[in-house]
């Protein structure tokens, strides 16, 4: 995800800062959790523990590691971004993660959101359309010994029918409508959080709940600005 404020901030930080020590990273991570997540109303102990445990600086490019815990998005490879911490937190929070659940992520990106989810739920299935990003995030998450994440390189619009239904779906890129395959693959009682792009400048984060009768309940959450959802040429 990227915001106008985030882009402006990055203009001031185009030169990499000095490498930090692990205690310094820990201090910054604790400050991030306290000021950006807890102070904004997300206090679920399991979610807080996950954000304290996942080392966000490992998921950003080396030249931005000293900024990894700032309240803004950062660029990653392939012209994509890692969302600001609060956005990752609210998307995680609204799908009501529980250990027994199975979650699908559309847009692996850096792998940070997948790592947070892996701390909270039984199974994470994550799809990335950009081959280099898919390879690098899979390597990192594997090296970090996450064993409950299953990876796929492909068109996230189509979801992952083989492993559906999913208790939760998190979409980290913005289509201009809700992909029908994702609705079909959402379990009854499940929740999907997705940014919908209404124009080049207007996006809203939407919570979709599939009710017992199969109907959908939609709730507008907050304005956001995510990178667009990319489709494969052959739609596969």
pLDDT tens-place string over residues 204-235: 999 999 999 999 999 999 999 999 999 987 65
Domain boundaries, the chain: 4-223
**Model-wide pTM > 0.85:** yes
Residue 201: the pLDDT is: 84
How far, in Å, CA of 157 to CA of 155, rounded?
5
Which residues belong to the active site? 83
Residues 212, 218, 224, 228, CA torsion sign? positive
**Measured between alpha carbons, how far is 230 from 89 in angstroms, rounded to an integer?**
23
List, for residues 149-205, the tens digit of each pLDDT value: 999 999 999 999 999 999 999 999 999 999 999 999 999 999 999 999 998 789 999
The string of pLDDT tens digits covering residues 67-85 is 999 999 999 998 899 999 9
Cα 235 to chain center, whole Å?
23
CATH of domain 4-223: 3.40.50.150
Residue whose token pair is 């904004």: 40
Query: H helices within the chain, ranges in order?
Result: 4-11, 22-32, 45-53, 85-94, 112-118, 131-143, 180-185
């Amino acid at each position: 995800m990227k915001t106008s404020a985030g882009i402006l901030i990055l203009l001031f930080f185009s030169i990499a800062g000095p490498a930090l020590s692990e205690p310094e990273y820990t201090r910054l991570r604790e400050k991030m959790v306290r000021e950006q997540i807890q102070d904004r109303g997300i206090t679920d102990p399991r979610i807080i523990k996950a954000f304290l445990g996942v080392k966000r600086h490992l998921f950003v490019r080396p030249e931005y590691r000293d900024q990894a815990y700032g309240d803004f998005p950062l660029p990653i490879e392939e012209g994509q971004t890692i969302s600001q911490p609060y956005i990752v937190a609210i998307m995680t929070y609204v799908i009501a993660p529980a250990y027994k659940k199975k979650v699908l992520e559309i847009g692996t990106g850096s792998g940070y959101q997948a790592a947070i989810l892996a701390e909270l739920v039984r199974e994470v299935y994550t799809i990335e359309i950009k081959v280099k990003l898919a390879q690098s995030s899979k390597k990192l998450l594997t090296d970090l010994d996450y064993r409950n994440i299953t990876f796929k390189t492909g068109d996230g619009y189509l979801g992952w029918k083989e492993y559906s239904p999913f208790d939760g779906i998190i979409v980290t890129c913005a289509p201009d409508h809700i992909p029908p395959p994702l609705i079909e693959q959402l379990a009854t009682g499940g929740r999907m959080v997705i940014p919908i792009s209404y124009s080049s400048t207007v996006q809203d984060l939407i919570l979709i709940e599939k009710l017992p009768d199969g109907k959908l309940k939609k709730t507008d959450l907050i304005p956001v600005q995510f990178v667009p959802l990319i489709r494969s040429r052959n739609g596969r």
